[in-house]
A and B are shown apart, each in its own frame.
Chain A
Amino acid sequence: MLRTLKTLMYLLTSVALLVSFETGAMAAKKSKTLKKTQKMGFVRCGVSQGLPGFSNADASGNWTGVDVDLCRAVAAATLGDSGKVKFFPLSAKERFTALTSGEIDVLSRNTTWTLSRDADIGLTFVGVNFYDGQGFMVRKSSGITSVNQFKAGVSACTNLGTTTELNMRDFFNSKGIKYEPVTFEKADEVVAAYDAGRCDTYTTDKSGLAAQRIKLSKPNDHIVLPETISKEPLGPVVRQGDAVWEDIVRWSLNVMIEAEEYGITSANADSMKSSDNPAVKRLVGAEGELGAAFGLDNDWSLRIIKQVGNYGESYKRNIADTGILPDRGPNQLWTKGGILYVPPAR
């Protein structure tokens, strides 16, 4: 009896030792989050509760949008299949807690990158996938054509727990206008309140205004004022403390943008393997060992481009063709007059 126990103990110890050696060796290359993701077989991605063009589910539960595409890109890179994403629709209020508590691993939910969010609460912003700014929507019949025509007593509907709430105060304060903020947790509730005449104006990021306008009972009775009152760089967020995972998400985004720069699309990605340009060859995995740094194989970026497409394709599919913002504005490549400029993938 005692001997069997001793043998058992011996066995257990050696197994434990083996396991610890293994993980020790892996940790150098692999991140905890990556390992968990590969074990689960899907990427856990936090998205909005419905913002056309960014993250929106259709009647049969299929998610589309540029924010959704980013998560699909991460899934293509880490799991080999862009379909292996589990989406978690989150309100603005829930999003950061969901990420820091480990309920999701990527937050791709039209979230503004600010200093305090980046530095204070255990989050890391990895890049910008949409340059936006806050604007105002009003009824056409009101005759208001500029933000300078707002008068004291104006009521403004917006989302709870957003940078919008803060910008709105800065704006009205600087104009010396007393206003009534009405804040709801869900975007649909904000739109309904504005539609019913509860508020004189609806304020949020301009892309959001353009997208939500479609949901109003008479979209053509409303206009978005020309002024932009803030900078809203929207981008994906990860938890602090897993640098490798952070890099994977950052470079999944960068690869999509750089692929557009070099003219690599989902259709021609395979044929680009025989390109003469080494930068192109690196992006489609025909040269270099870019994936190894993340603990991924060399085709990770090729899969992103083939399965999800480059940034331009994603923008066209989700935002331009749906009529939300046909003009790319600042979200054009730096080579074409926009400000999309990413570090080289090499």
Chain B
Amino acid sequence: MNHKIKNIIPQLLTLLFVVSVIGFFTINAQLNMDERGIDFGYGFLNQESSFDVQFSLIEYDGSHSYAKAYLVGLLNTILVSVLGIIFCTIIGVIIGIARLSPNYLIRNTAAWYVEFFRNVPLLLQIFFWYYAALRALPLPENTEPIFGVTYLTVKGYYIPRLIWENFDILIYSILAAIISIMFIRNYARKLQEEKGQQLPVLMISAGLLLIFPAITFVTGMVQLEVALPVLKQLSKTSFIYAEGLSVPPELLALVLALSLYTATFVAECVRAGVQGVSKGQKEAAASVGLTPNQILKLVIMPQALRIIIPPTTNQYLNLTKNSSLAAAIAYPDLVLVFAGTALMQTGRAIEIVSITMLTYLTLSLAISLLMNWYNKKIAIKEK
């Protein structure tokens, strides 16, 4: 009994402390806002925002609500995070494996890359890409095309726009391909277990993924038009590329900086993961007659991934949160659009900052959940 109370008292005190701290700040804010004639409420979200945003994934202009402006910012944040995560993973894996290369030059170049990009502050790198590298690009009218149809200029990267007809049918065909692949994989596993025969699953999968969408094209169900960027004159000395798609330089700089920076940490995770699998595993696998490819796929990677995933999750979270540095270079992310312009135009600091914080928290938790699920999936299943 006595022991129980002793256990409960510190917990009660902690709870009391937390509640009173939150209570203090709430009451303090309320009193001061009352005194200064500021009212509190989220009603402004339905009001017309009356400002435009440079770059949006959904249809938006100033006649839409603040809630829609919030969505625009959120989607832009998600866009830059997803692009950053994809690129930092690709670069990170390549660099991580390169650091283990027996080739002296490759190994050391990778090591220098990691040391350099990891030890320069991220904000500085963003400034470098935006103000030094991308600002030095030529004006649209002086630009030489890259790959024949894309143009990298100081006003942005202009690429062809794809205009789909019946895009949804294409999606369905890809889904159908994925489902058939799952069936074939099941069948292949059965075949392997029962008769010891092996199917070239990878080849079949790739083929299906190509054939299914191709059928929709050939039969004319899905049509694709490509709109190439065309130089358009705005005034005597000012040009842009119209028709195509324009990737703003702010987005380019941000994705470049975020992925190059985070890739160094991912690379270290990958290296640690691969080195963490003991040599004996590889030798044992070789001695039972597995090919080098099979050793990597069936023995090394499953064990390495268990070491790689948790710290890499942290890096993905960091990247997502670091994307808020976008505000420094005018990329219209959540912080710039919502916690910037919208906050300024409405003056509702507490409401908007609380929404923004909650959003980042939700984003981070969502990434965590996803990665934890994946981690569980590849973890050792004890029977």
Interface, chain A (partner B; CB < 8 A): 92-93, 96-97, 100, 116-117, 120-123, 138-139, 141-144, 149-151, 153-155, 160-162, 165-166, 168-170, 173, 179-185, 189, 192-193, 196-198, 200, 239-241
Contacts and interface: CB of A to CB of B under 8 A. Distances in A.
Contacts of B23: none
Nearest to A143: B236
A181 B50 contact: no
B293 interface: no
B4 interface: no
A241 B155 CA distance: 47
Given A169-B62, A239-B36, 19 more contacts: A96-B347, A100-B349, A117-B347, A121-B346, A138-B235, A139-B237, A153-B242, A162-B344, A180-B54, A181-B52, A181-B54, A183-B336, A183-B341, A185-B327, A185-B328, A197-B154, A197-B155, A198-B135, A200-B234
20 contacts: A100-B36, A100-B38, A120-B346, A123-B347, A141-B236, A142-B238, A143-B235, A144-B236, A149-B235, A153-B240, A160-B344, A161-B343, A169-B62, A173-B61, A181-B52, A183-B332, A183-B336, A185-B328, A197-B155, A241-B35
Contacts of A181: 51-54
B330 A189 contact: yes
Contact of A121 (B52, B155, B347): B347
B232 interface: yes
B280 interface: no
Interface in B226-252: 232, 234-238, 240, 242, 249-250
A161 B235 contact: no
B164 interface: no
Contacts of B131: 192
Contacts of B154: 196-198
B348 interface: yes
The 8 closest A-B pairs by CB, nearest first: A161-B344, A121-B347, A143-B236, A122-B38, A142-B235, A122-B36, A240-B37, A169-B62
B37 A122 contact: yes
B340 interface: yes
Interface of B: 33, 35-38, 50-54, 61-62, 131, 135, 139, 154-155, 232, 234-238, 240, 242, 249-250, 327-328, 330, 332, 336, 340-341, 343-349
Contacts of B232: 153
A197 B139 contact: yes
A97 B234 contact: no
Contact of A160 (B33, B36, B340): B340
A149 B237 CA distance: 13
A25 to B, nearest CB: 22
A93 B344 contact: yes
A3 B131 CA distance: 75
A78 to B, nearest CB: 21
A111 B336 CA distance: 20
Given A143-B236, A165-B341, A240-B37, A97 B349 contact: yes
Interface centre among B61, B238, B328, B336 (most CB of A within 10 A): B238
A142 B344 contact: no
Nearest to B328: A185
A62 B149 CA distance: 53
Contacts of A153: 232, 234, 240, 242
A97 B344 CA distance: 9
B92 to A, nearest CB: 31
A196 B153 CA distance: 11
A185 B53 CA distance: 14
Nearest to A94: B344
Nearest to B350: A97
B326 to A, nearest CB: 11
Contacts of B37: 122, 240-241
Contacts of B237: 139, 141-143
A173 B62 contact: yes
Given A142-B235, A155-B155, A166 B345 contact: yes
A160 B50 CA distance: 14
B347 A93 contact: no
Nearest to A149: B235
Nearest to A184: B330
B345 A161 contact: yes
A155 B348 CA distance: 29
A7 B238 CA distance: 85
Contacts of B347: 96, 100, 117, 120-123
A185 B155 CA distance: 19
A179 B61 CA distance: 11
A327 B234 CA distance: 32
Contact of B341 (A144, A161, A189, A197): A161
Contacts of B62: 166, 169, 173
A182 B330 contact: yes
A241 B250 CA distance: 42
Contacts of B35: 241
Given A121-B347, A122-B38, A142 B336 contact: no
Interface centre among B53, B250, B340 (most CB of A within 10 A): B340
B325 to A, nearest CB: 12
Given A153-B242, A196-B154, A169 B50 contact: yes
B336 A198 contact: no
B340 A185 contact: yes
Contacts of B155: 155, 197-198
Nearest to A99: B36
A182 B340 contact: no
Contacts of B249: 198
A112 to B, nearest CB: 12
Contact of B235 (A122, A173, A198, A200): A200
Contacts of A165: 51-52, 341, 345
Contacts of B336: 160, 183
B36 A183 contact: no
A155 B33 CA distance: 39
Nearest to B235: A142
B348 A121 contact: yes
Contact of A166 (B33, B50, B54, B340): B50
B239 to A, nearest CB: 9
Interface centre among A117, A151, A192 (most CB of B within 10 A): A151
A286 B343 CA distance: 48
Contacts of B344: 92-93, 96, 160-162
A120 B346 CA distance: 8
